[in-house]
């Protein structure tokens, strides 16, 4: 009876209960064999010894089993209370992922599962990890390999990351750019969402400096996908941007009156993305754009998506990119205050200011009291779950939804990506090949498997950005099964606090940017996402080597999942940890990579050498 509680799992609760059963049996045995002053009692014991011993063994077994059950119940209740506690402390009216999870339970909608075997093992592992975290002295048996890579959950594992310092605040130009010899005005109308537009703005700053032109405050195009009418001044502080960059580029808010009436397309001053190569070298702008600028006095870049390269840009212009992205673009006070409230509630702490806070909030960080008096600030992981319908449709991947899913995504492509839909009529694309090449965004289930393999337990508090999950509750439930402590900005902020941003996707995305940048750990699920790219770079630049980012290699992960039937949990864990650990190695920006994502590059960050700092 001593080893029977809980089957063959060998958990700490089982072992402790069995130990209690043995102690109880030993004490009863001592009473049974102890000396007494009554000879008649000894005679009775001698006559009925066999029957009495059997009853006592049964009794001891029953006591052991009851002790086991009580201990397991106590441990599980403690774990459940820890998981549920922070959600209750944040909000009493869950409307985001919490409401989605509750609706999922009410409707009993089937889960959409692609990896049932791994998910079943992971479900067991996250609970054991939570018990090990809360009760480290218990010998809870883990299913991991003893050879698994030790993964640093909440810290940057490489101290070299702390040797890199921000350097883009410095500039080598005069105090203010003279207006004489100016070649004219550059106007851009940036497409995409918040993060694509941010990249376009900073690239425009570089092009304006390159062509010795005046930059007009950028305009943002309306997108049928994002459906947001916000302009630059609705998201960023205009005056701060103009003043911060005045030593590098002359910036005005509008074209002069004599140019406003011109039909820029008719006079040949409109430059579309078809006219400039993707990630073009500076020489292409000088050759193709400068003559038009000098002739007409104005050039309008329409779209301007990723038109400027990285490797061919000289150091002094690369520095402008970083000055713009990491220093000059500050969110408007309304967004800063809401973001401050969001982060402080996630941390359960007020009056806490990090270097990242100073950069994100400036003087607009709210001084709110700690939500739990006397409690330590809490850690949270931010997960950018880029599994919205637009990304899923554009990927051309199969996510296990059958014919209904394929028809729905094709209809979406016909409406929102007509060029892609037209190309598919003449070309066959293999979803399996797309997945093997690492071009499929991770599902919530696949993201949960990565986090479990890295060692995050069931009690981990997770902020989810990009929460409009394609497939809704059915697609989300495998993740919430592993990590029930999930929230979005809709859970943390009230309806009234979010009201100023309602129906403005870019302003809501700015709150996600803030929460992800401020997180103790940031987890990426799609390397092609602009938010993930920009947040990763922001954390490298302002994180002082203390802002780790988890970045799965989707191609390698697809290979691992493709072999899932032949590997145990320990093998899966080891391969996932090796995959993520490789990305965390500290190095200068590799050739061809974005400065916005990997800012350890000349002109942007400096590597400390002795008591001073040098670029390289």
| pLDDT tens per residue, range 556-572 | 999 999 998 889 999 99
Are 339 and 360 in contact, with CB atoms under 8 Å apart?
yes
Q: What is the pLDDT of residues 487-513, one digit of tens each?
A: 999 999 999 999 999 989 999 999 999
Contact assessment for residue 380 and residue 462, using Cβ atoms and an 8 Å cutoff = yes
Number of H helices, E strands in the chain: 26, 14
Residues 472 and 579 in one domain: yes
Query: Looking at 328, 345, 379, which one is the last position of a domain?
Result: 328
Residue-averaged pLDDT of the chain? 81
Number of compact structural domains in the chain: 2
Q: Which domain holds residue 372?
A: 150-162+332-387+441-607
Out of 328, 355, 375, a domain closes at 328
**Where does 195-343 show beta strands of DSSP type E?**
214-216, 219-220, 251-252, 270-272, 298-303
The predicted pLDDT at position 175 comes to 54
Lowest mean pLDDT among 76-90, 126-140, 521-535: 76-90
Residues 318 and 453 reside in one and the same domain: no
- Whether 580 shows a pLDDT value over 80: the answer reads yes
Range picked from 15-19, 154-158, 217-221 for highest mean pLDDT: 217-221
pLDDT for residue 151: 75
What is the residue whose two structure tokens read 């301007």? 304
With respect to residue 431, please indicate whether it lies within any of the assigned structural domains: no
pLDDT at 68: 54
pLDDT-based confidence at 155, cuts 50/70/90?
Answer: confident
pLDDT band at 158 (very low <50, low <70, confident <90, very high): confident
Asked if residue 499 and residue 559 are part of one domain, the reply reads yes
* 247 shares its domain with 382: no
Q: How far apart are CA 596 and CA 589, in angstroms?
A: 10
Q: Same structural domain for residues 320 and 338?
A: no
320/364 same-domain check: no
The domain boundary residue, chosen from 312, 328, 344: 328
> Residue 472 to residues 96, 101, 388, 476: CA-CA distances in angstroms?
11, 9, 10, 6
Per-residue pLDDT, 336: 97
Using the predicted structure, report yes or no on whether residue 442 has a pLDDT greater than 60. Answer: yes
Q: Are residues 195 and 299 in the same domain?
A: yes
Name the pTM for this structure.
0.81
Does residue 551 contact residue 442 with C-beta atoms inside 8 Å?
A: no
The least confident of 105-109, 196-200, 516-520 is 105-109
Enter the tokens of residue 454: 């890295």
pLDDT surpassing 60 at residue 608: yes
The pLDDT of residue 19 is 34
Q: Is residue 423 part of a domain?
A: no
Per-residue pLDDT of 342-396, as tens digits, reads 999 998 876 567 889 999 999 998 876 654 444 566 899 999 998 999 899 999 9
> Does residue 337 share a domain with residue 240?
no
Based on the fold, state whether residues 465 and 537 are members of the same structural domain: yes
Domain annotation covers residue 424 = no
Q: DSSP secondary-structure letter at 326?
A: I
Same structural domain for residues 324 and 337? no
Q: Which residues does residue 522 pair with via DSSP β-bridges, in sequence order?
A: 382, 549
Q: Note whether 235 and 350 are same-domain residues.
A: no
What tokens does 119 get?
């998910």
- Is 240 in the same domain as 289? yes
pLDDT at 143 (0 to 100): 52
Decide if pLDDT at 285 tops 60: yes
């Amino acid at each position: 009876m001593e080893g029977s509680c809980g089957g063959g799992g060998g958990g700490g609760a089982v072992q402790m209960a069995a130990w209690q059963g043995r102690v109880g049996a030993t004490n009863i045995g001592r009473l049974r064999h102890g000396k007494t002053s009554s000879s008649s009692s000894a005679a009775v014991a001698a006559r009925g010894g066999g029957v009495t011993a059997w009853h006592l063994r049964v009794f001891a077994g029953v006591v052991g089993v009851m002790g086991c059950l009580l201990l397991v119940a106590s441990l599980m209740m403690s774990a459940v209370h820890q998981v549920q506690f922070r959600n209750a402390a944040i909000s009493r009216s869950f409307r985001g992922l919490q409401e989605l999870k509750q609706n999922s339970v009410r409707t009993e909608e089937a889960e959409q599962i692609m990896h049932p075997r791994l998910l079943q093992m992971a479900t067991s592992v996250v609970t054991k990890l939570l018990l090990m975290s809360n009760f480290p002295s218990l010998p809870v048996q883990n299913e991991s390999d003893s050879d698994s890579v030790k993964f640093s959950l909440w810290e940057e594992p490489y101290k070299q990351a702390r040797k890199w310092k921000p350097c883009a605040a410095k500039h080598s130009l005069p105090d203010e750019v003279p207006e004489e010899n100016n070649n004219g005005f550059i106007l851009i109308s940036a497409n995409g969402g918040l993060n694509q537009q941010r990249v376009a703005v900073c690239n425009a700053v570089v092009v304006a400096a390159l062509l010795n032109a005046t930059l007009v405050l950028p305009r943002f195009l309306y997108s049928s996908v994002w459906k947001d009418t916000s302009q630059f001044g609705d998201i960023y502080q205009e005056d701060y941007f103009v003043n911060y960059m005045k030593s590098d580029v002359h910036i005005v808010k509008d074209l002069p009156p004599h140019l406003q009436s011109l039909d820029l397309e008719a006079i040949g001053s409109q430059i579309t993305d078809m006219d400039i190569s993707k990630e073009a070298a500076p020489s292409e702008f000088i050759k193709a754009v400068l003559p038009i600028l000098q002739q007409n006095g104005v050039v309008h870049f329409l779209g301007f998506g990723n038109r400027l390269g990285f490797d061919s840009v000289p150091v002094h212009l690369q520095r402008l990119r970083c000055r713009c992205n990491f220093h000059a673009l500050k969110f408007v006070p309304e967004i800063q205050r809401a973001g401050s409230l969001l982060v402080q509630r996630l941390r359960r702490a007020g009056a806490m200011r990090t270097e990242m806070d100073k950069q994100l909030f400036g003087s607009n960080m709210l001084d709110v009291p700690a939500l739990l008096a006397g409690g330590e600030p809490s850690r949270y992981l931010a997960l950018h779950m880029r599994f919205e319908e637009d990304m899923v449709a554009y990927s051309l991947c199969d996510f296990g939804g059958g014919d209904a899913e394929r028809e729905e995504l094709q209809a979406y492509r016909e409406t929102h990506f007509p060029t892609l839909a037209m190309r598919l009529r003449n070309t066959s694309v293999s979803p399996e090949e797309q997945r093997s090449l690492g071009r499929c965004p991770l599902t919530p289930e696949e993201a949960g498997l990565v986090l479990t393999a890295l060692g995050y337990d069931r009690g981990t508090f997770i902020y989810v950005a990009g929460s409009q999950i394609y497939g809704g509750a059915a697609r989300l439930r495998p993740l919430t099964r592993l990590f029930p402590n999930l929230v979005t900005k809709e859970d943390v902020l009230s309806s009234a606090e979010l009201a100023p941003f309602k129906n403005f996707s870019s302003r809501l995305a700015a709150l996600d940017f803030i929460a992800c940048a401020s997180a103790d750990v940031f987890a990426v699920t799609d390397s092609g996402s602009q938010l993930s790219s920009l947040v990763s770079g922001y954390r490298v630049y302002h994180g002082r080597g203390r802002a780790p980012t988890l970045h799965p290699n989707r191609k390698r992960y697809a290979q691992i999942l493709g072999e899932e039937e032949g590997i145990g949990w320990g093998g899966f864990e080891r391969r996932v940890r090796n995959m993520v650990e490789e990305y965390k190695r500290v190095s200068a920006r590799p050739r061809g990579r974005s400065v916005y994502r990997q800012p350890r590059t000349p002109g942007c960050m400096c590597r400390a050498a002795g008591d001073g700092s040098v670029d390289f």
